[in-house]
């Protein structure tokens, strides 16, 4: 794409950037994190089942053309995929229109030889993408796709990785749902004209470009909350016993270490039944398990308390078709439409948890004792999430973000303070990977998704550990554990992943083979 734009400029002279709009508050936050090398990329990868007639080695070119066309249609459908970012490292960056998107630059193909090498190669590609910093932001869109498969295999992994300034985690799920829809759509009359040498013309991206989430719906807040927020931003940093002193902030390298576990659907369904019985959710349960695991691994002197975080999808609180944006459908829109709520596990609670861990170690059935602790913490976390959800847009952190005049300076200041958050659980829920076609077409060979994963890069000033669950309907639950190399001890991260694996297996089924962990 860069070559295309350069040749055009040589003939007509430099063009003035066509500004769509300035970045909104949460977009400014993520642009600043990216510019300061404090966060790189977010990714959702899906394993697609390739129709039999396209799976053969001899049909590789046709397979690539099919994927290119579906990706082009998806890019055309979602405006955030066809824009650049002007002056990212400034107080007022903006989204700008691009003329073209070159799939030759944005999409890469990888063919892995031996089956036993697949996981290693796939993980290396994912790590490279989520840790890669986006360049040429003013001439290229801020996303990449890697297509990974073994020649002749019926499955193809599609890794979609993007700059968080253009879209939130839920957008990754929306991307794959859109891509699957286009893979199974009948051929269109404009298919041949859509791509020329893998280049898609995308001028006019300002049309129906999503507004900032604070313009989609109002986020009112009280004067008292605003004063408290400003005071907390300006007051001198003081040691707090819930801070993550065990994971000190280090500027670099911002390299991500990743571990993954998967849980069988049969086990997941039993876990969800248990969650409902204890009046909580999978997200709440994960907070409870992580609390017990971290309290058992870190000494009281290292971590007297913890703070965890849960992102909340705000699409449900964003009315469709508002008067100013009549075509806006938040549930189908790739954008940043997300908030957060935090969970404080204070000194007294963590001390109690450690006492219960010690007590359980001396009991024949110590797991039952710890299970009670986990369920109690899970119920509390769920109650806190419910409270945030009940407030909706009122006194929401999104509304308060307007109080920050410069997110670059804010993030630089954060880098000089102790880390606030120990972990975050970002649950994307369930992706429907079924082919949305009638029975005859499905039998003839439609595309479908059988597995998904969700990953984030290390967060230099954010949560020390990211826990990222996603499941495909009727398939396995996948959880990625992500942390910064050299900041979080590798053994701690691996034990955390194994602990979550073990507890989900224990709470969902006694079948030891129900969960598996990969390095």
Give the DSSP per-residue string, 345-395.
E-HHHHHHHHHHHHHHHTSTTHHHHHHHHHHHHHHHHHHHHHHHHHHTTTT
- In this structure, of 37-41, 90-94, 250-254, the range with the lowest mean pLDDT score is 250-254
Reply yes or no on whether the pLDDT at 5 is more than 80: no
Fold category of 19-208 in CATH: Chloramphenicol Acetyltransferase (3.30.559)
Q: How far is CA 408 from CA 93, 209, 228, 238, 401, in A?
A: 11, 25, 21, 22, 13
- Mean pLDDT of the region 14-27: 93
Beta-carbon neighbour count of residue 161 at 10 Å? 26
Q: Which two tokens stand for residue 236?
A: 């001198």
**How far, in Å, are 204, 298, 350, 518 from residue 486 at the CA level?**
44, 17, 25, 20
Nearest to 37 by CA among 137, 124, 167, 132: 132
Partnered with residue 219 across adjacent β-strands are none
Residue 438 predicted with pLDDT over 60? no
Contact 310, 343 (CB under 8 A): yes
pLDDT digits (tens, 9 = 90+) for 184-203: 998 877 777 889 999 999 98
Residue 208 falls in which region: left (phi positive, over 0), alpha (psi -120 to 50) or beta:
left
Local structure of 305: helix, strand or coil: coil
Give the SS3 label for residue 286: helix
CB atoms closer than 10 angstroms to residue 99: 18
Residue-wise pLDDT tens digits, 284-339: 999 999 999 999 999 999 999 999 999 999 999 999 999 999 999 999 999 999 99
Tell me if the pTM is above 0.85: yes
Instruction: Give dist(CA 470, CA 456) in Å, integer.
Output: 13
d(CA 402, CA 387): 23
Contact present, 160 and 126 (Cβ < 8 Å): no
Q: Is the pLDDT of residue 402 over 80?
A: yes
Give the integer Cα–Cα distance in Å for 23 and 25. Answer: 7
Answer for the pair 331, 313: CB distance below 8 angstroms, yes or no. no
Residue 114 is given by DSSP the state S
Residues 6+ apart with CB under 8 A from 159: 43, 45, 125, 126, 129, 145, 146, 147, 148
* Nearest Cα to Cα of residue 460 among 411, 493, 495: 411
- Work out the average pLDDT over 152-176: 96
Give yes or no for a cis peptide into 253 (omega within 30° of 0).
yes
What is the rounded CA–CA span in Å between residue 216 and residue 393?
11
Across the chain, mean pLDDT equals 92
- Residues 44/470, Cβ–Cβ less than 8 Å: yes
- Whether residue 519 has pLDDT greater than 90: no
Contact (Cβ atoms closer than 8 angstroms) between residue 11 and residue 123 = no
Q: What is the DSSP letter of 199?
A: E
Alpha helices in 392-461, H assignment, sequence order: 397-400, 407-414, 439-445
Domain spans of the chain, in order of start: 19-208, 218-508
pLDDT tens digit sequence for 412-425: 999 999 999 999 99
- Residues 320, 329: contact at Cβ < 8 Å? yes
CA–CA distance from 223 to each of 25, 61, 220, 392 (Å)?
A: 19, 61, 10, 18
- Calculate the CA 455 to chain-centre distance: 6
pLDDT tops 90 at residue 431 = yes
At 113, is the pLDDT very low, low, confident or very high (cuts 50, 70, 90)?
A: confident
CB atoms inside a 10 Å sphere around CB 252: 12
Fold identical between 19-208 and 218-508?
Answer: yes
Q: How far apart are CA 9 and CA 13, in angstroms?
A: 5
Residue 172 above 60 pLDDT?
Answer: yes
CA 341/CA 357 separation, integer angstroms: 27
Please tell me which residue, 231 or 213, carries the higher pLDDT value: 213
- Class of the domain covering 218-508: alpha beta
């Amino acid at each position: 794409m860069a070559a295309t734009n350069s040749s055009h400029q040589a003939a007509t002279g430099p063009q003035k950037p066509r500004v769509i709009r300035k970045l909104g508050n949460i977009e400014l936050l993520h642009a600043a994190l990216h510019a300061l090398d404090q966060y790189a990329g977010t990714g959702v990868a899906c394993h697609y089942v390739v129709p039999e007639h396209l799976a053969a080695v001899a049909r590789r070119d046709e397979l690539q053309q099919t994927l290119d066309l579906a990706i082009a249609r998806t890019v055309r459908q979602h405006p955030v995929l066809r824009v650049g970012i002007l002056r990212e490292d400034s107080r007022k960056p903006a989204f700008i229109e691009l003329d073209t998107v070159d799939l030759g630059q944005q999409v890469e193909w990888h063919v892995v030889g031996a089956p036993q090498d697949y996981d290693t190669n796939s993980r290396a590609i994912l790590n490279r993408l989520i840790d890669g910093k986006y360049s040429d932001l003013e001439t290229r869109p801020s996303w990449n796709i890697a297509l990974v498969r073994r020649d002749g295999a019926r499955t193809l992994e599609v890794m979609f990785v993007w700059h968080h300034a253009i879209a939130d985690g839920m957008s990754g799920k929306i991307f794959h749902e859109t891509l699957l829809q286009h893979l199974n759509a009948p051929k269109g009359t404009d298919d041949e004209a859509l791509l020329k040498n893998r280049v898609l013309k995308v001028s006019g991206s300002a049309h129906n470009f999503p507004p900032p989430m604070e313009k989609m719906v109002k986020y009112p807040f009280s004067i008292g909350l605003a004063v408290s927020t400003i005071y907390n931003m300006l007051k001198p940093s003081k040691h707090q016993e819930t801070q993550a002193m065990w994971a000190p902030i280090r500027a670099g390298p911002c390299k991500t270490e990743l571990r993954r576990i998967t849980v069988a659907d049969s086990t997941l369904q039993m876990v969800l039944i248990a969650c409902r019985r204890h009046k909580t959710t999978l997200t709440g349960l994960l907070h409870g398990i992580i609390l017990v695991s971290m309290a058992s691994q870190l000494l009281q002197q290292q971590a007297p308390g913890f703070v965890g975080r849960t992102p909340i999808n705000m699409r449900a609180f964003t009315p469709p078709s508002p008067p100013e944006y009549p075509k806006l459908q938040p549930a189908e829109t790739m954008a940043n439409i997300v908030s957060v709520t935090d969970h404080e596990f204070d000194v007294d609670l963590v001390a109690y948890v450690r006492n219960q861990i010690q007590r359980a170690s001396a009991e024949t059935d110590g797991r039952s004792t710890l299970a009670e602790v986990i369920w109690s913490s899970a119920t509390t976390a769920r109650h806190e999430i419910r409270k945030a959800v009940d407030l909706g847009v009122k006194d929401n952190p999104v509304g308060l973000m307007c109080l920050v005049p410069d997110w670059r300076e804010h993030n630089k200041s954060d880098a000089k303070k102790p880390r606030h958050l120990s972990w975050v659980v970002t649950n994307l829920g369930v992706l429907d990977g079924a082919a949305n076609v009638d029975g005859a077409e499905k039998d003839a060979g439609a595309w479908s998704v059988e597995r998904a994963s969700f990953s984030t890069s290390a967060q230099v000033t954010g949560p020390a550990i990211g826990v990222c669950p996603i499941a495909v309907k009727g398939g396995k639950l996948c959880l990625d554990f992500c942390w910064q190399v050299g900041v979080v001890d590798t053994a701690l991260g691996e034990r955390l992943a194994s602990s979550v694996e073990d507890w989900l297996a224990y709470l969902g089924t006694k079948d030891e083979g129900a969960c598996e962990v990969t390095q």
